Amino acid sequence: MFDVTSNPGGDGFVGKIQGFFAYLLSRLTGTVDSIPVSLEDKIILLDNDELLLVWENTLREKRLKKEEEAWKSFEKRYGRGAPEVTAAFIKWQEQLYAFIEQEKDRFLKERHGSKEALGALLRAGAKTIVVTKGAKPYTEKCFNLVGLSPYISDIYSPAPGRREKRFVDAVVDHGKNTPRKCSMDTIIVGHDLEKDMGWDLVPPKGLPNDGNAPIFILFGALKFDRDIEDPLDALLEITLLLAKRGKNDFLNGFKSIDKPQKAVTQNYSFKVSLYHNPKRGDKARIPVIHEIRKRR
């Protein structure tokens, strides 16, 4: 990770003081907050597991193992890539859903601030879209259990017989049919840079392409029995900041944050970096917002 706002001492007391005064100055002068912001036509692509929802630890490990076993058994029966694999898998998941529905508070938990943040993004005109490897009917039911369904615009699950996330379909279906439209109007949110990023949306490796991809906002993995430092209301504040700084262009907003003093919202501080995935050596570095922390 290459931090484009790196500054010795920036995370210490001096950095916090600088961040506070930078934010105060923007409020007084109107350099950021006076810019009209519309999130119309913007899309926020979100992971599900360990970002929005988390399972009780023991049950989660058992669930993942059982899901993998079930999927492979259906592939063996119907053939890899066959639509019947997905249909059988969805039917199998119904049993698990019926089990957790009885005592949902013991098994399932949502990320703090999710309803408030997603609701505000929707009211501002954005689309909140979950891109997952899970089956859509099952994912919808899990959202229903915690009351998140009204805050999700759409869910993109793998095509029948497949398990790959459909990032390309999600952006193209919402009018982001060029790399420029995609990078200016799209934010991807997850807890794992490798698994939750839409790598099919990233241009080939090369200096001109570095940083010219959808912004990835990295949150910490949600734990069932542990407090978090980055509730989802941070997403709302950072999204609005990017739109304001970039004059409704997310990527331009990211590129304008070239000093630690600018990487601050009313309640959060963060870092911005360009990240190269060593497992995707053919891809350019991507713009990443990370180390989101509550300001104290």
Task: For 109-121, write each residue's pLDDT tens digit.
Answer: 899 999 999 999 9
Radius of gyration of the chain (CA): 20
| pLDDT of amino acid 2 | 53
Q: What count of other Cβ atoms lies within 10 Å of the Cβ of residue 234?
A: 24
pLDDT at 1: 63
Condensed to tens digits (0 to 9), the pLDDT of residues 16-62 reads 444 444 444 444 433 344 445 789 999 999 999 888 988 777 777 77
Beta strands in 221-278 (DSSP E): 268-275
Q: What's the confidence (pLDDT) of residue 30?
A: 39
The reported pLDDT for the residue numbered 4 is 55
Nearest to 113 by CA among 267, 241, 236, 271: 236
In what order do the strands lie in the sheet containing 268-275?
2-3, 268-275, 286-294, 215-218, 186-190, 43-46, 127-131, 154-156
**Which residue, chain included where needed, has tokens 């019947």?**
84
Low-confidence ranges of the chain (pLDDT < 50): 6-35
For residue 55, what pLDDT is reported? 78
Structural domains of the chain, ranges and CATH numbers in brackets: 2-55+109-294 (3.40.50.1000)
Supply the pLDDT for residue 36.
54
Position 58 scores a pLDDT of 74
Note the pLDDT of residue 162.
85
- Sequence-distant (6+) residues with CB within 8 A of 184 are 246, 249, 250, 251, 252
